[in-house]
Structure 1
């Protein structure tokens, strides 16, 4: 099984290095704070040693004030470290979230078709939250453990070097055993993380299809399916957590052994006159510090690796090459006429199912063509290739003589307006959804576009007018209303090339008539490609292309195609007209 631990840490480090001065302040403050934390028990030792000698009370008071001063210095530097670390951590979470977002947005259309939205969202959240937990563990646990153990061993070595050796050897064995166990447990943590993502994806998919679940009577099946997912996740959680519990028992045993051995050896040294009563206080204080720091060390290191496992799935996305990307030094598309050419274009999904086969097609500037044919003929694929949602397997596509594979994707999309069959809107205001096509558009321009799309009337009747939020994916609007918003967006964008994918399919007869008039105005001076199943909507196209099995099998004007009584188009027309006549 492949783990991207190094890549995960590399990404974290790349972002953290931008805040190197914050990290330096955090480390230095922590170092000074821990030095004073280790010094404090030494002065307690002196205090109890003084008591055994019956000194003046003033000396005891002075020692206590010194101890108070040491603790205040410790508190001061730890607070500085805390404030600086909070700022660093907040900035890092923001940067990592932005990096994840930017990376996801650069992936291809097919990437999103092959991944659940809910699962992707959870992977992003887990990634930057994993950093939050890892950095907390490093700053609040790992570094203090290393500093405290080192300083304690140094102080003990001045009292008795064998005491320092015992502590050092025990700590080394304790930490190595924890590391080995945590590495062993990592594969189960990764499996748990995978099952958690699968459960979330199932939940998101089922909730998204709530209407289908009800109307297709799938309630019991969905409940059983989700219960099976959660049962798998529960089993893996129990196994993983039980492993941790067993090892914690082993840790407790090691700590009991350490205290017993140290105290027995201390008593021996005291009996030989090498240690004082104050040394018992010093050693016991250090033992308490060590146990406090290391008691949860196993859980800390496991949490560290669990966090890495949580980040693993997003790291895999970072490590996944972008399927569609701009070539080096790609130029911006310059559209002066709007001529489109498909030259020997072929395309196959997954390199096995050929959808477009050596297609040659020339669309003149300002020509209005329509693509018709049975479902699965390749009409939508042709549009996707033009939009470069997929790269062609062979041949090339030119826009005004420029190969779209050698221009920037954004410049291509900026020159094409698409009105899809089922528009998906942002959960934002209607004004924002329309303006998204032209961010610098004025309110007047947005309203004018809405009027041309026959959307203005229903918008002003909405509770907040143009500021009404449309719900997730535009669910608060009807299908026809969503489509009119999409048409308004295309009108506002006013690109040189226009693609209409059943743009009037969700409209009632009255709205369809008005929208057709708006589209006729919109199509003036543009190259237009229309995908249609209702042939009545494309009768007046300059040219109609009949697509089947990724090939153009017929083409011509409406009346020309009807003359071929045995042709596919004529047959489709008769079926539709006959259906309406019935």
Structure 2
């Protein structure tokens, strides 16, 4: 989806309009400053006209004029400084609002959105949006408004002295602005390309840093260095091209300014010779030319910075303009669980039109029943639990919990009622206390510690110098796999949801640790409807029912003992594992 500049401006305006008083004061102040700068040169004209034609009280007039000039300059300086302070307050508030809006909308996107995106690139996009606003606000306040006021003021001022000079100057200004506008429009796609390459490079960098251990294990240093070198070289080429054409534009711009200064002064001399202009008019015209050149010189830069800022903001605005893939229906109800019955009724689901994962899938878990899902890799076991959490919307059929269609209830109330212990827990870079408490954020410290005891986390946490206040590192990297797993179990224990999903919850534990928490898991499962995804079949022997999944269908079900007695997938898997090929 291509984002337009209008959409970006609308996003910025929606956040600026919350502060109307500050915005109005800033705009008025900026207008006042540069109006004063247009008026001041007229007093320089009077000053030099007085010098050129001495009169009796000429010295008094010069001194009064000088004080007026100084007074106007000081007034403009004071307003400018106050405006700068006010702009800082406005920009920081709006930048904070934009960052918050971006974060709030971003985390509402679907599971598939995040699996298809680089975390580092998303962080870069969020940060770029607020910085892009800062750039746009600065350009409006310090460049665009001053340019408009200065150009219009000077044209009006010069018209009082000579219509010929006004027409010549006005025609040149229009030509200059149109040329710069055309150039900026032509360059914008390259600025967008530069931003995309920058984002891509950030993603490659974050991906490599996040997988530093894998790079070491597979001696991928040279491969990763070459990969990063290639993307940086692509970025350099685009950046070098845009920089080079900007320098060419600056050269042409300088030449045009030299030409118009010569033409204006040449015409002024002709007008002075016939008595239309005075010596003071030369001072007026020269000051106007200097100030006009100062503002117009920046016009190309203003446009380029606008387009660069829009290019930086476009990626995040595209995310903001992209509807959430999974949304609550209007007037969605809150899921109320009395028993915990789960039903999959004729469910169809595929990640793509050509890749169906579930085909008319049917499964019922009775209240309080403990069922295990087994089957070969790619059979659809994890997909079933993802659909239960409504990470994806199904293509057909229904998923019911206590006869309530999960597509008709709020996502928050649905996920509040289900606890998950994943195979590979990902922890926040926060303290152990915070990570466990995430299961129920209002829980007391004592409740967190009790959950940790039940999950047998308390033993290793107590040995840490900072105990529960220990930070676990990014994604929990400071903990072993087994320790992360036990923290995830403690989190689920603390949540105490009526439905529990265990995705091989003991897969990262050694035999001793596994034995320690089996009793905790039994207590956790008591009175709950439990779905276990099993890879090691030895962990599901006590399940009430084992469901065998293959190619998105239920092909068999029963207890462990019953399934072993008949040929099939389960018997084959058990024979392989029992034979020692899979621990």
Shorter-chain TM range is over 0.9
What's 2:98 paired with?
96
- Deviation string 1:104-161 (CA, Å, 9 cap, x unpaired) is 1111000000011111111111112111111111111011000011111111111112
Match status 1:244 vs 2:246: yes
**In 2, Cα distance between equivalents of 1:426 and 1:312:** 29
- Deviation string 1:556-581 (CA, Å, 9 cap, x unpaired) is 111111111x1221221122112179
Compared CA separation, residues 391 and 3, structure 1 to 2 (3 A): closer
- Correspondence 1:221-300 to 2 at 5 A: 221-300=223-302
- Deviation string 1:63-116 (CA, Å, 9 cap, x unpaired) is 211111111111122122222211111111001111111111111000000011
Shift of 1:329: 0.7
Compared CA separation, residues 76 and 516, structure 1 to 2 (3 A): same
What's 1:166 paired with?
168
- The Cα RMSD (Å) is 1.4
Is the Cα contact below 8 Å between 1:4 and 1:315 reproduced in 2? no
Secondary structure of the structure 1 residue equivalent to 2:502:
strand
Is the Cα contact below 8 Å between 2:368 and 2:528 reproduced in 1? yes
**In 1, Cα distance between equivalents of 2:3 and 2:167:** 36
Structure 1: give runs of 5+ residues left out of the alignment. Answer: none
What's 1:70 paired with?
72
- Deviation string 1:196-232 (CA, Å, 9 cap, x unpaired) is 1111111111111111111112111111111111111
What's 2:533 paired with?
531
Q: Which runs of 4+ in 1 moved over 4 A?
A: none
**In 1, Cα distance between equivalents of 2:118 and 2:61:** 71
**In 2, Cα distance between equivalents of 1:56 and 1:160:** 26
**In 2, Cα distance between equivalents of 1:338 and 1:368:** 11
- Correspondence 1:447-458 to 2 at 5 A: 447-458=449-460
Secondary structure of the structure 2 residue equivalent to 1:554:
strand
What's 1:356 paired with?
358
What's 1:32 paired with?
32
Shift of 1:296: 2.2
Is the Cα contact below 8 Å between 1:333 and 1:411 reproduced in 2? yes
Match status 1:210 vs 2:212: yes
**In 2, Cα distance between equivalents of 1:569 and 1:105:** 39
- Deviation string 1:510-566 (CA, Å, 9 cap, x unpaired) is 2111111111111111000011111111100000111111111111111111111x1
**In 1, Cα distance between equivalents of 2:171 and 2:21:** 35
Pick from 494, 511, 519 the counterpart of residue 517 of structure 1: 519
What's 1:552 paired with?
554
What's 2:307 paired with?
305
Secondary structure of the structure 2 residue equivalent to 1:541:
coil
Match status 1:576 vs 2:577: yes
Shift of 1:21: 1.5
Shift of 1:322: 1.3
**In 2, Cα distance between equivalents of 1:294 and 1:559:** 86
Secondary structure of the structure 1 residue equivalent to 2:426:
coil
Secondary structure of the structure 2 residue equivalent to 1:84:
helix
Is the Cα contact below 8 Å between 1:430 and 1:467 reproduced in 2? yes
Is the Cα contact below 8 Å between 2:98 and 2:130 reproduced in 1? yes
Shift of 1:56: 4.4
- Correspondence 1:191-206 to 2 at 5 A: 191-206=193-208
Match status 1:58 vs 2:57: no
Is the Cα contact below 8 Å between 2:541 and 2:560 reproduced in 1? yes
Is the Cα contact below 8 Å between 1:4 and 1:316 reproduced in 2? no
Match status 1:13 vs 2:20: no
What's 1:44 paired with?
44
Is the Cα contact below 8 Å between 2:2 and 2:318 reproduced in 1? no
What's 2:412 paired with?
410
Pick from 495, 500, 503 the counterpart of residue 501 of structure 1: 503
- Deviation string 1:307-358 (CA, Å, 9 cap, x unpaired) is 1111111122122221111111111100110000000011111121111111
**In 2, Cα distance between equivalents of 1:254 and 1:334:** 73
What's 1:4 paired with?
4
**In 2, Cα distance between equivalents of 1:31 and 1:134:** 18
Secondary structure of the structure 2 residue equivalent to 1:579:
coil
Is the Cα contact below 8 Å between 1:455 and 1:481 reproduced in 2? yes
Pick from 117, 128, 141 the counterpart of residue 126 of structure 1: 128
